[in-house]
């Protein structure tokens, strides 16, 4: 199986307003890195149905694997389940496995509180809405409280794995989806970044070399990360290449060779 691009969609007004700080992006990068994978793109979307539907439709129409966090609850500001169905143009329906898991959670909660389990009570019936997913969805187990997430495949080949916004739930659910569906991709050829710290140079003067490297090595991307107040290196440029391991070595060698005429002052090399 050939690895596909992996993306992240973070949904919620609380992220865009600054009430909450997104922790999913760095965590997903970490979880992917542990498996020899990398994140290709990320997108932030507020709680507006049209924008959520549009973002999900683009992802479903791609061939990408996408993780979506937030908005799958059953309160008025949770729209992700409905938007997923709209993007796929399929109806919503109560997933039987999700119903069983939610009812199991309600029984456990009643037992913990020493109360009778009343499945027909209005609030318990409302909780079943958390298991109403687009037709054809597959569940993602939630080890924290049993309320599942879900996965859907789009007509264009894209797959989206939907998890809650809570990190304690979302992160193990992301790991489960990766381990369940994509283990054949793990450490397949590998991905690497290799760079060098450069002092006293201007990005504009290095741009022709960067363009030359990318033109000569189409499998890699060149990156230039300038800093003016780094605590260790001060003002510098972190210049390097990233891509498949077997392509990075030769591209980086050419980068260093083509930089020689500039007479630059270097710091350490960095491999990630």
Q: Render 50-61 in DSSP notation, one character per residue.
A: HHHHHHHHHHHH
Q: With a cut of 80, say whether residue 3 has pLDDT above it.
A: no
Grade residue 246 by pLDDT with cuts at 50, 70 and 90: confident
Domain range summary for the chain, segments of one domain joined by +:
6-185, 191-271
Its pTM stands at 0.84
Q: Which CATH architecture has domain 6-185?
A: 3-Layer(aba) Sandwich (3.40)
Rounded to whole angstroms, the Cα distance separating 14 from 22 reads 9
pLDDT at 188: 77
Return the CATH number of 191-271, one of 3.30.70.2860, 3.30.720.210, 3.90.950.10, 1.10.3720.10. Answer: 3.30.70.2860
Residue 190 pLDDT > 80: no
Answer whether residue 192 shows pLDDT above 90: no
CB atoms near residue 21 (< 10 Å): 7
3-state secondary structure at position 129: helix
Mean pLDDT of 104-131: 92
Q: Which residues pair with 84 in a beta bridge?
A: none
pLDDT in tens, 46-89: 999 999 999 999 999 999 999 999 999 999 999 999 999 999 99
Q: In sequence order, what are the beta bridge partners of 138?
A: 151
Helices marked H in 119-233: 122-127, 167-181, 203-216
- H or E element, residue 152: strand 149-153
Q: Are 16 and 48 in contact (CB under 8 A)?
A: no
Mean local confidence (pLDDT), 121-127: 91
pLDDT(15) > 60 = yes
pLDDT of residue 158: 95
On whether the CB atoms of residues 60 and 155 are closer than 8 A, the answer is yes
Residues 6+ apart with CB under 8 A from 54: none
Other beta carbons within 10 Å of 139: 17
Q: How far is CA 2 from CA 5, 87, 160, 189, 256, in A?
A: 10, 26, 18, 11, 31
Q: Is the pLDDT of residue 225 over 60?
A: yes
Q: What pLDDT is recorded for position 187?
A: 79
Q: Which residues partner with 230 through β-bridges? A: 234
| Share of residues in the chain with pLDDT > 90 (%) | 87
Contact 9, 56 (CB under 8 A): yes
Strand partners, 66: 7, 160
């Amino acid at each position: 199986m050939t690895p596909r691009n992996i993306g992240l969609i973070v949904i919620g007004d609380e992220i865009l307003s600054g009430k909450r700080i997104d922790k999913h992006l760095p965590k997903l990068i970490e979880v992917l890195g542990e498996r020899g994978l990398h994140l290709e793109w990320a997108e932030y979307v507020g709680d507006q149905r049209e924008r959520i539907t549009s973002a999900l439709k683009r992802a479903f129409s791609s061939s990408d694997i996408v993780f979506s966090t937030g908005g799958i609850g059953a309160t008025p500001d949770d729209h992700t389940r409905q938007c997923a169905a709209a993007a796929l143009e399929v109806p919503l329906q109560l997933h039987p496995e999700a119903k069983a898991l939610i009812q199991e959670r309600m029984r456990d909660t009643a037992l913990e509180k020493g109360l009778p389990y009343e499945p027909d009570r209005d609030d318990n019936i409302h909780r079943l809405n958390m298991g109403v997913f687009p037709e054809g969805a597959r569940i993602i187990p939630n080890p924290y409280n049993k309320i599942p997430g879900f996965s859907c495949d789009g007509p264009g080949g894209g797959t989206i794995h939907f998890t809650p916004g809570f990190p304690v739930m979302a992160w193990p659910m992301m790991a489960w989806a990766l381990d369940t569906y994509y283990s054949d991709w793990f450490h397949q050829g590998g991905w690497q970044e290799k760079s060098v710290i450069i002092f006293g140079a201007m990005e504009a003067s290095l741009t022709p070399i960067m363009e030359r490297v990318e033109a000569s090595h189409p499998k890699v991307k060149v990156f230039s990360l300038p800093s003016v107040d780094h605590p260790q290196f001060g003002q510098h440029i972190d210049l390097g290449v990233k891509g498949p391991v077997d392509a990075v070595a030769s591209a980086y060698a050419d980068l260093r060779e083509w930089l020689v005429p500039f007479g630059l002052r270097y710091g350490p090399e960095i491999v990630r």
